[in-house]
Amino acid sequence: ITVEVNKPGHKISPMLFGIFFEDINLSTDGGMYPELVRNRSFEDADTLQYWKFISADGQSKASIASADAQVRPPILPLNPYNRKSLCIKANGAFNLVNDGYWGMNIIQGDCYTFQLAARTTDDFRAPLTIRIVSSTGKELASGEIKAFGTQWQYHSLDLSASGSDPKAHLEISGTGKGTLYLDMVSLMPDKTWKNHGLRIDLADALDSLHPRFMRFPGGSFVEGVNIADMYNWKNTIGNIDMRTPLRNLWGYNSTNGIGFQEYLQLAEDLGAEPLFCINAGMSYGEVVPMDRMGQWEQDALDAIQYANGPVTSVWGSLRAKNGHPEPFHLKYIEIGNENGGTTYDKRWELIANAIHAKYPNIKLIADEWEGGHPHDPMPAIIDEHYYNNPDWFIWNAHKYDSYDRKGPKVFIGEYAVTSGTGKGDLRGAIGEAAWMTGMERNSDIVEMGSYAPLFCNANHRAWPINLINFDSYRWYGIPSYYVQEMFSNNQGTVELPVSIEHAPVFEIPVSSGCIGLGTRNSSAEFKDLQVVSSKGKILFNPKFSQIDDQWRKSPRSEWTAQNGVLKNSSNTFWGSAIFMGDTAWTNYTITLKARKISGEHGFQIYF
């Protein structure tokens, strides 16, 4: 390997390696957001989803009370954005159980805050006993709340765990008569990452990646199935009981407990530039008509004001009220996700022009989709996505070597080996590593890139292969995680010319008696080919004065042989030259040795 240190090239983009945090696979609720109660506000369904209601006398009933369906009084929602609550008509003993997200991780000695909002309509007087119980039935913590009034009121308890269990659950029990409404039933660990309300081990896993930027919150999550299910950042700020939950296209309700402010805070805590992806008025199934796009344009401007505006501005003042008077210095906005065609171009033009006029320093990212990207106005950066098999990533490691340098910079916002890699194996990680060398070598044009998706609750895998997989108390990274970590923590500052002269050795268990060489989309030359048995015997040592009977050309390639050099001069096709070996080789372990002396791609061996 020759590295020419005296010939420095371009600077490596300081923003090159980042993360893409999408709310997918229960990565926020049931993951980074450490709320232990699932369906705490009873908004997930019209039934008691994720709760069990057990009554001892068989007469107690629980149902979801929906203010939408009834006129006040008697039913009053907790607030206009949180309209459903649990209605318990008690006549004796009852017990309400929540298992959280496949068990609650309770740690001995740690403190947990329990909270709920309650009201009674006909004098439910009895206290409620709150218990954290292990999977074997052992009580780990308990307390009592009482004195319910006719108006909604919050009650809270500090619970300290006397034992540990990653699969504990919560029980709320009482014995009484009357009607009791409950809402926002919450159990949160007091210890969170940097005291900013995130699960510590998962946030640490991100921190180890040392990301330079963080794209959020999607992905398709931003688009939604229909416009009604699109991500709207304004529904995700302020008091958690006022945040509108989002039924998302990954098959669950997001509480938005990690909302716009928390994402910005996480980026800041990671030392990463926030990159907000905003809906472009396009969902999977529906598009907002142009004459209704004013709200989308305004939402984008307001998001920037929320993140960066002075505390005297409308949205900046809310940011301050929500705990962050200093601006977040948001610099990157992506308009839309995987949107394309003229439908997208028109919406891009509207939103991008509005942002440029008011915030000229914001870098705007457009989607590269359906074979192109908008040109008016020209984006600073375009977002390209790649999901493929390991070989594709290896072969395409040189994709950007000849990429147009006159156009926008490139953000490879999503890339991952998604086939031919099991559930994420070393082969996939090596494919991505090869690709990342190409990102680094070409980071004069490839400014940023991020693997996708980042997180997966192993009990809710909506996407097949994910970087960090977890359950209630532990996580593991697939090999790709360690590739990301290695590249990100060892990023160079300047590109240096590197050339490699190599004689790769491949151990091939021959079963068919034939081996071959392949190149794709580039010419290549090989010499010094040898086929050697496991005992060191040279079985074949072609001189290559010509392609003879033993080397067959594949019909679409242009292999020639001269002076010991085997050459494929095709640069448009996959080309292979196959050597028909001796059938007596079957079940030998043989080695093909070859030296590549020119050509952009590596070569592949068949057997």
- Residues lying near ligand AHR in the complex (CB under 6 A) are found at 22, 218-220, 337-338, 414, 452-453, 463
Identity of the residue, 219 or 431, whose beta carbon is nearer to ligand AHR in the bound complex: 219
145 or 465: CB nearest ligand AHR? 465
Tell me the residue nearest to ligand AHR as measured from the CB. Answer: 219
Question: Can you tell me which residue has the tokens 């590197």?
Answer: 498
Q: Are 428 and 415 in contact (CB under 8 A)?
A: no
**Exposed/middle/buried for residue 342 (C-beta within 10 Å: 0-12, 13-18, 19+):** exposed
Sign of the four-CA dihedral 160, 164, 167, 172:
negative
Q: Nearer Cβ to ligand AHR, position 181 or 263? A: 263
The residue (of 34 and 336) whose beta carbon lies closer to ligand AHR is 336
Question: Smaller CB distance to ligand AHR: residue 22 or 268?
Answer: 22
Q: Per DSSP, what are the bridge partners of residue 400?
A: none
End-to-end alpha carbon distance in the chain: 28
Using the minimum distance from each CB to ligand AHR, give the nearer residue, 165 or 338: 338
Smallest distance from ligand AHR to CB 15, Å: 20
Q: Where are the alpha helices (DSSP H) in 70-165?
A: none
191 vs 44: CA distance, rounded Å: 27
Q: How far apart, in whole angstroms, are the C-alpha atoms of residue 442 and residue 404?
A: 11
Instruction: Decide whether 148 or 221 has the Cβ nearer to ligand AHR.
Output: 221
CB atoms within 10 A of CB 10: 12
CA dihedral 301, 307, 310, 311 (to 10 degrees): 120
Least distance between ligand AHR and beta carbon 20 (Å): 7
**Nearer to ligand AHR by C-beta: 22 or 447?**
22
Residue 383 C-beta: closest distance to ligand AHR, Å = 9
Least CB distance to ligand AHR at residue 28 (A): 14
Smallest gap from residue 217 Cβ to ligand AHR (A)? 10
Residue 366 token pair: 């457009």
Classified as helix, coil or strand, 4 is coil
> Cβ 375 to ligand AHR, closest distance in Å?
22
Nearest distance in Å: CB 337, ligand AHR: 5
Q: Is 435 helix (H, G, I), strand (E, B) or coil?
A: helix
CB 413 → ligand AHR: shortest distance, Å?
Answer: 8
Size (the chain), residues = 607
Which residue, 103 or 428, is less far from ligand AHR as judged by CB?
A: 428
Q: With respect to ligand AHR, which residue has the nearer C-beta, 219 or 257?
A: 219
Least distance (Å) between residue 416 CB and ligand AHR: 8
CB of 326 to ligand AHR, least distance (A): 31
Closer to ligand AHR by CB, 231 or 544: give it: 231
Q: How many Å apart are CA 594 and CA 565, to the nearest integer?
A: 10
Cβ 407 to ligand AHR shortest distance, Å: 22
Query: Is the four-CA dihedral 279, 280, 281, 285 of positive or negative sign?
Result: negative
> Which C-beta is closer to ligand AHR: that of 24 or that of 106?
24
Scored b (16 or more CB within 10 A) or e, 153-171 reads: eebebebebebebbbbbbb
Pick between residue 31 and residue 309 the one whose CB is nearest to ligand AHR.
31
Label the pairing between strands 17-20 and 446-451. Answer: parallel
Nearest distance from C-beta of residue 220 to ligand AHR, angstroms: 4
Whether the CB-CB separation of 55 and 49 falls below 8 Å is answered with no
Alpha-carbon distance 498 to 224, whole Å? 45
Phi, psi of 492 (to 5 degrees): -75, 175
Least CB distance to ligand AHR at residue 141 (A): 38
Distances (CA, A) of 356 to 224, 304, 374, 432, 604: 26, 12, 15, 35, 48
Rounded to a whole number of angstroms, the minimum distance from the CB of residue 450 to ligand AHR is 10
Tokens representing residue 233 in the block: 């950042």
Q: Write the DSSP assignment of 325-375 as a string of letters.
A: -S-----EEEE-SS--HHHHHHHHHHHHHHHHHH-TTSEEEEE-BTTB---
Nearer to ligand AHR, 12 or 275 (CB): 275
Q: Would you say 355 and 300 are in contact if contact means Cβ atoms under 8 Å apart?
A: yes
How far apart are the C-alpha atoms of 30 and 44, rounded to whole Å? 14
